[in-house]
Structure 1
Amino acid sequence: MLTQLATERPLRTLGLMSGTSVDGVDVALIETDGERIASYGPSLTVPYADEVRRTIRAAFGAEQVSEATRAAERAVTEAHADAVRRWSSEQGVPLSTVDLVGFHGQTITHRPERRFTWQIGDGAALARALGVRVINELRIADVAAGGQGAPLVPAYHAALVRDLPRPLAVVNIGGVANVTWVGADGALLAFDTGPGNGPIDDWCARRAGQRYDKDGALAASGKVDRARLERFGEHRYFARTPPKSLDRGDFNDAWAEGLSAADGAATLTRGTARAIALAARHFPAPVLQWVVCGGGARNPTLLSAIAEETHGKVVTAADLGWDGDALEAQAFAFLAVRSLRGLPLTYPTTTGAPRPMTGGRLSEP
């Protein structure tokens, strides 16, 4: 019944996202038919409790089920259910009016070269808890077919920029940073550019006793180690032809070791910007502007570093009227409807899959 409805009208769909930074759960409502966005609804971010964050981190890198992964999956599922209930209560939107939930889950291991990716989160349990249909496991089919399984957001980026001058690049900076190049004709190319906030966050936690570099203040007070930056820019990943993707741990903060807290933050921040600039060598045509979203869009030091490194026009999602904080959650709502309709989620030029790939697992309440 719902599949038939999906082809006839936009569905009120909730998207749920928890990124590699393990900050918390983003909840966002959109109405979409999986091709166009009919309207945007309210969104909410609910931070993870420290205990939940520790439980999730204890499962990072796992490749088989263990007590640690079971505990993390329970914690993730319960945190998502709680976040949705809180969103429903605070926004005054009854869950009975929601048609579908797109549930990304929490990536704990991503090894596409071994055709393995793992997003923990129990879709069936979430559907029962909320009384709403849930679609999850949106990466698995792509990776099983030989794709990178990431980034998944390009199909949504293409819908967002439909009316903007192109070519342009949308850069999402979470723990890892990724880019979607959208051509004048709507052609897509997408890949992970390199580190995002992950190494900066780790550095701040280890060296400055803070969870992240708020407003880029620590980096702004430091000096970039240029010699280290040049060596970093020679990393073989940057020369590799896309599509390509990364695990959260593939780039870390070790290359800043030995620097002061401020200089290390400055150098790592410039490294993230340098990696984004190096992505442009793979674009089929130069871009008219770079649109930055994700947590990195709130770091003015990082934004100015990107502008300097790319020598381009850099705007944030907020500058365009998008809700940058809700963007990835909205994307998973969009992808859930595409999954329901059997439309492609990924393409050879976004993940390296052998053909346009559908995917996702539907759980009934």
Structure 2
Amino acid sequence: MILTTLGLMSGTSLDGVDVALLETDGRRIKAFGPTGYRPYSGSERSLLRQALAEAVHLERREARPGVLRAAEHAVTLAHAEAVAAFLAQNRLTAQDLDIVGFHGQTVLHRPERRLTVQIGDAQALAKAIHIPVMSDFRAADVEAGGQGAPFVPVYHRALVQSLQREGPTVVVNIGGVSNITYIDGDQTLIACDTGPGNALLDDFMFRRVSQAFDQDGRMAAQGTADEAWVARALALPFFRLPPPKSLDRNDFAALALGDVSPADGAATLTAFTVAAIAAVVPLLPKVPQSWIICGGGARNFTMMRMLRERLAPATVESADAFGWSADAIEAQAFGFLAARGMKGLPLSYPATTGVPMPMTGGVIARP
């Protein structure tokens, strides 16, 4: 049975809420629907940054001490507003949708402690939008000993299968953290986080020039990357670990650039993200023939140029080149995962998160 799903995603880059409609049976994509976006305001981003700082002390996934309670309310309200605006803009009603996939905002990811925390009140959201909401996608995986991330490989596989390409293909999502999905035919599906995505760069831009991110990679394009610094950063043990492996947004936040210009700092951090993605190649079964880039990094022209240089002779293309929505893929993925969750299909696998067996997941809140 084909379901009409609405996926919602608020990523580690803290930019806002992505919304995407998808028609799917949980195995194949029947049709892409419209997409939408509700940016976080400056005050909302500030509140979320405070929540990230406070979340490092969490011991229980359901605890919401201090600013975390206010942040959860803000996240829930922002998602409700995003859905309401999306429905109005596209002349849809709640009755047109079967399920909403609500990821929430990750504030802590510590799978080694069997702890992953996404804030957002699914029950309150369901009541506000009058549509069933599936959330808590990662919890079962982490409780079973998996990494709980990356969590969209099954959707990446559905996208790549629609292309009917030969040879190994990698889909790279560059959000706050970068992750890859390696697809080779119907059987081989491998995934892992590769390292920082835009998080270090965004935080650097915010501190140094009060900009939320490096628009189009313009700042990095004016600078020179410190390749010795990048090489030292890549010497960290994480980069030698085989897949599956995952990261928290702030795992590399302690890396200090020193006294550098904004342009050189942006170039260095962009190069670090790219080098970390390239470093996964020796850990894969075969050298990929093609790379498809989605997420915010796909709009960073300097990052895309560096990726093409690092990964040659393989092809490196933006997801937009295939008619995919580079910005909405993660939102679409959580609509897809909601459909799979409703049908009891696995959301994660041993080779994607390290979970002992294929795992279902997701909890439904009804209006």
Q: CA deviation at 1:229?
A: 1.6
What residue in structure 2 maps to residue 30 of structure 1? 22
Q: Answer yes or no: is 1:221 the counterpart of 2:218.
A: no
Equivalences for 1:1-365 in 2 at 5 Å? Answer: 9-61=1-53, 62=55, 63=58, 64-162=63-161, 163-252=164-253, 254-311=255-312, 312-365=314-367
Contiguous gaps of at least 5 residues in structure 1 = 1-8
Q: Which secondary structure does the structure 1 equivalent of 2:256 belong to?
A: helix
Paired with 2:287 and 2:187, the residues of 1 have a C-alpha distance of 14
- TM-score normalised by structure 2 residue count: 0.95
Alignment partner of 2:279: what SS? helix
Give CA deviations for 1:291-310 in whole Å, capped at 9, x if unaligned.
00000000010011111122
Cα distance in 2 for residues equivalent to 1:52 and 1:212:
16
How many angstroms does 1:65 deviate by?
2.1
- Any runs of at least 4 consecutive aligned residues in structure 1 with deviations exceeding 3 A, and if so which? none
What SS does the aligned partner of 1:166 have? Answer: coil
Structure 2 CA distance for aligned equivalents of residues 186 and 169 of structure 1: 14
Q: What SS does the aligned partner of 2:288 have?
A: coil
Deviation string for 1:204-232 (max 9, x for gaps)?
11112211000100000001112112212
CA drift of 1:36 comes to 0.5
TM-score between the two structures when normalised by the length of structure 1: 0.96
What amino acid is the match of 2:85?
A: R
More moved, 53-62 vs 166-175: 53-62
Task: Name the amino acid aligned to 1:91.
Answer: N
> 1:4 is matched with which residue?
none
* Counterpart residue type for residue 334 of structure 1: F
Q: Percent identity?
A: 51
* In 2, Cα distance between equivalents of 1:328 and 1:318: 14
- Give the Cα separation in 1 of the matches to 2:112 and 2:298: 30
RMSD: 1.0
Question: How many residue pairs were aligned?
Answer: 357
Which range is displaced more, 46-55 or 18-27? 46-55
Letter in structure 1 aligned against 2:336 = F
Distance 1:253 1:325 in 2: 28
* Counterpart secondary structure, 1:13: strand
Q: Secondary structure in 2 aligned to 1:66?
A: coil
What SS class does the counterpart of residue 82 from structure 2 fall into? helix
Gaps of 5+ in 2: none
SS in 1 for 2:194: strand
